[in-house]
A and B are shown apart, each in its own frame.
Chain A
Amino acid sequence: MSINRIGLKLGAAVIVLMIVILVSSGFAVNRLFTNFYDAQMRDNTQGIADHFTTMAESGDPSVQTMIRNFAEFSDVKVFWLNADGQILTLSGAKLTNPSFVRVRDTQRLLSGHPVEFMSSDASGNRFYVVGKPIKAGSSTRSALYIVSSMKKIDNSLLRLRNLLMLSGLGAFLLALGMILIMSKLLSRPLLQMQKMTEKMANGNWDARLRVGSRDEIGMLGHSINDLAASLQRYRDTRRAFFSNISHELRTPVTYLQGYAKVLADGLVESDKEEKQYISIIYQESVRLEHLINDLFDLSKMEEGQIKLTLEWLDLKEIIKTAVRKVKLKAEKKRLSLQMDLHDRVPDIRGDRRRMEQVLLNLLENAIRYTEKGSVLVRLVRHEEATVLSVSDTGIGISKEELPYIFERFYRVEKSRARKYGGTGLGLSIVKKYVEMQGGTVQVDSEPGTGTTFTLIFPQEKKLGKDRINP
């Protein structure tokens, strides 16, 4: 049987407690019974002694016989102490002084004072002795010693002590058995958790604990399972991230290498072809730069290193700036870029540069995935929030894919040819920036009809008054 440490500590603590309780209660019970028997013996012997003294003082000639019979009946011994200090039997025969007789008690008795004490013989038998003076008028002429044996009481007390020890042993064994079961039951889930965390430390994050209880240990088990799930998710995300990033970096680099080699080897047949290749190299290098910039921003955001410069922003102004920047791209695709900016929309608290980047990402996405139709930017005040939405009439996103579009490198477009371009990080950056500025992002989409991204910023009160832009 293996003794684990928790079981040992718990068992030792309970056993010590049990021993203390059993020993103290055992002593208390023993003391209670001893005092009870002693008091009973004292009262009995005193009563008998009082009777015998009264009888002796009556001076009746038959008193000796009566006392002797009474003594036999009461199971006590009676000794006569004469005026000379000699001990006699009731029949008047002289005795060598019994062991309990002490000179000072004799003197005390003969001077008219009663005595009582406990004594024992050489074999250890205990006696209770009561001495009573027998008075004739005002003087004391002799005395009586009444001696009661305490053998029966001692036997009863011995039996009681044995039974107390037996019941103490029983309680001890019972507690030991219960402690062994309890300590095993309590420590088993802890040992399972220790094994589980050891597995996690060795990189096995797929393992899970089977939690059956709802107590503190059960809660700890759930927390460990949650931790394992989080670590597993983190590992999976990290793997996917590295896999995606290597792919995303490799694609433009492959283009760059391929077309640069064609140019370097002089394999072009015309100036037009050369220009086309140089243009591809330029576009791919721009895409690579965007990818690196986005990755840099995202990693800084995740490490919490991005510090926002918060100020009161007029969103209308930012929207106009962003729309101006993407207008050329929209015109190239013959898309109608519209704005619907309501009056009396309050300023929001945010970072100007990040907010503009959010809008640019959304607008570029909208233009990228829209072949014909329009892109609409709308700004309205809705109850206690400022609502900015970017809608397009593009390819749309299926409902199954909507929950994942804010994940890094997630693309609705599955083709590796990257027909629409983009880094796959834009929406992830949008979500993080908006949340950092206290807002939320919602998306509604219908495949083939279009997509609307809605940014909701709860209104904050400015000190003193809520400034409204006309």
Chain B
Amino acid sequence: MKKIDWVFSLILIIMGLTCLFFAANAFGHESFLSFGRIFFQVCMWVTCPVILLVILYLWFHYKNKNE
């Protein structure tokens, strides 16, 4: 994958996330503080299942390796 592909894809992802955060934040609470709060909440919601999946993957990986 070329650098320009990564840059283009990341720009699209950042634009998409900004639109989503703004939409989640803007309904009557337009401030940077609430924007940050929403951003933090979303990050936590995404991070928790990712951490859980990583733990499960590592568990299965080492279990299979030992067998």
Interface residues of A (CB under 8 A from B): 1, 159-160, 163-164, 166-167, 169-178, 180-181, 184-185, 188
Contacts and interface: CB of A to CB of B under 8 A. Distances in A.
Contacts of A174: 12-13, 16-17, 20
Contact of B20 (A1, A167, A177, A188): A167
Interface string B1-19: 1101110111111011111
B22 to A, nearest CB: 6
Contacts of B55: none
Contacts of A180: 5, 8-9, 12
B24 A167 contact: yes
A166 B12 CA distance: 14
Interface of B: 1-2, 4-6, 8-13, 15-24, 26-27
Contact of B12 (A160, A163, A173, A185): A173
Given A166-B22, A167-B20, A184-B1, A177 B27 contact: no
B15 to A, nearest CB: 5
B16 A176 contact: yes
Given A1-B5, A163-B27, A188-B1, A176 B12 contact: yes
Contact of A177 (B1, B4, B16, B26): B16
B9 to A, nearest CB: 4
Contacts of B4: 1
Nearest to A164: B23
Contacts of B22: 166, 170
B24 A177 contact: no
B16 A175 contact: yes
A117 to B, nearest CB: 30
A255 B10 CA distance: 77
Given A170-B15, A171-B20, A184-B5, 11 more contacts: A164-B23, A166-B23, A167-B19, A169-B16, A170-B21, A170-B23, A173-B16, A174-B12, A177-B9, A177-B10, A178-B9
Closest 9 CB pairs of A and B: A170-B19, A174-B16, A177-B12, A173-B16, A167-B23, A177-B13, A170-B20, A180-B9, A166-B23
Contact of B15 (A160, A167, A173, A188): A173
A169 B19 CA distance: 7
A194 B10 CA distance: 28
A375 to B, nearest CB: 52
